[in-house]
Amino acid sequence: MLSKTTGKPPRPTPGFGGLRRFRTPGISAVLLLAAFVVFAAFTLIAAGREFLPYSSAKPILDVQRDHLPAALQNADATKWAAWARQEDETIRARLEQGDLDSMVNLLLYGTSFTQQPRIRMESLTEASKTGVLRSRVDDLVAGLRSPGDNERLVFLNGLLRSKGIDPGAPGATGEFLYKNLLRVLEERKTLAARAAEAKPASLLDRASLFADRGVSLDTSILPDFSIEQTLRDLKKRGVLREGQVARVAVIGPGLDFIDKNEESGYDYYPQQTLQPFALYDSLVRLGLAKNNAVSLSIFDISSRVIDHMQRARARNNTGYVIQLPRDIARPWPPELISYWRSLGDQVGTAVAPIRPPKIFRPLNGGQGLETRAVRIRPDVVLACEPMDLNIVLERLNLAAADRFDLMVGTNIFVYYNAFEQTLALENAGAMLKPGGLLLTNDRLAEVPGGRSSMRLAGTTDVRYDDHGVSAHEPVGWYQKLVIRN
């Protein structure tokens, strides 16, 4: 979500955690760097995953007393542990609804199962009158019945079955598609009304807009651009220094199944994740990290994200290809276009992109898609280690030396209420080195009264200016406090 401009963010106190430097880039240094990455991955596996302990939750429960769920009123350690387990299940259960939302996005924008034009939300009534919607539903029903090797359809076929719907029964499948389309439409209306009424406390505050929505895996290049611009800003301000970042975590990288926004909703290439590779790429481009000296943890609650990354790592000699389409008709600012052009050049090599289907070609009305593809190097893929972790409730019990220099979580905390956001902030803080940073495009409430281990140190307001309309995305930098005795 893009928001209007902010004023200048306050300057943070420097004091970012200690990092290593390698003087000579000879063979021994390269071996040392590789050994470091393997060692870092090993220590992470060895680290225990635990629920946020009651002792850390208590200050948050105390200050949020009036806003707590009933099960946490007058909580003690036992009540807290029971609630955390239950809440973990509740959060994970939201993924299914997110998958059903993706099914609707596929119905409207997908091109892998139909020749019908894509349908914009605004032109749904028209598409219904002309029969385009009906034809798309029929084509998707047929695709779901016989998915072949279309991985998106194979996944949805399994999802339907898990809901007791036989994809071979066209009536039930069509009805299910329409029912979910209507639900998504209603939900969009509610969200739009909520957004119009919201009184955000600050520009970064997105008022937990998606707190009762299904958790989706949607991802695109845009948040990665925001993060690169923020890192650039942090370097310029001296908050981050050359070669300073080695241990990194991405919270919720997502999986590009088909985006909820039509402008990045594509299904003509295999499902892909972008953020871990884009972040590694940005860190090297900006000189904040050394190539081959980054260990990158991926935390997610989605088994689809985790399995996807594990499979990518298992194919360890082939690397990982990312497809980067750009709709020429979209008014991207020059900085974003140049980011799109360079994305991946520090971590891979350009390869021939998959050709988009005819529907995207200029003859069909649009200006068409410009496309790039990059094969990410195997060592970079192997440096990215996925792990199941619910950031709202869980943390890794890391030794001080193994904690992260930098964590990134975009378009994730907007799915949670203020209480859950505070829990997540504390969990991230527990895994950061003193002075380490969490970058996110949401305002996360700190525990008041100076009892938080994290504080908002500043904001970078990323510009998406185009056609005279001022569009911005603020990214907050939360810093782990440096405790001095």
Nearer to ligand SAM, 101 or 233 (CB): 101
How many Cβ atoms are within 10 Å of 185's Cβ, its own excluded? 13
| Cβ atoms of 313 and 376 closer than 8 Å | no
CA 283/CA 250 separation, integer angstroms: 13
- Residue (of 46, 18, 26) closest to 247 by Cα position: 18
**CA distances, 321 to each of 36, 330, 429 (Å):** 25, 24, 33
Nearer to ligand SAM, 88 or 327 (CB): 88
Nearer to ligand SAM, 141 or 222 (CB): 222
CA 447/CA 60 separation, integer angstroms: 6
CB of 155 to ligand SAM, least distance (A): 15
CB of 223 to ligand SAM, least distance (A): 4
Select the residue whose beta carbon is closest to ligand SAM and give its number.
252
**H or E segment to which residue 438 belongs:** strand 432-440
CB of 408 to ligand SAM, least distance (A): 8
CB of 129 to ligand SAM, least distance (A): 32
The two tokens of residue 71 are 């099960």
Nearer to ligand SAM, 241 or 304 (CB): 304
CA 475/CA 202 separation, integer angstroms: 12
| Cβ atoms of 52 and 395 closer than 8 Å | yes
Nearer to ligand SAM, 290 or 395 (CB): 395
Nearer to ligand SAM, 116 or 427 (CB): 427
Phi-psi region for residue 208, left (φ > 0), alpha (ψ -120 to 50) or beta? left
CB of 415 to ligand SAM, least distance (A): 6
CB of 260 to ligand SAM, least distance (A): 9
Nearer to ligand SAM, 286 or 301 (CB): 301
CB of 480 to ligand SAM, least distance (A): 19
Phi-psi region for residue 125, left (φ > 0), alpha (ψ -120 to 50) or beta? alpha
Nearer to ligand SAM, 137 or 423 (CB): 423
CB of 94 to ligand SAM, least distance (A): 8
Output the CA torsion sign for 409, 395, 20, 346.
negative
Cα-flanking dihedrals φ and ψ of residue 387, to 5°? -150, 135
Where do we find the tokens 């510009």?
Answer: 463
Binding stretches for ligand SAM (CB under 6 A): 91, 215-220, 223, 251-254, 275, 299-302, 305, 390-392, 410-412, 415
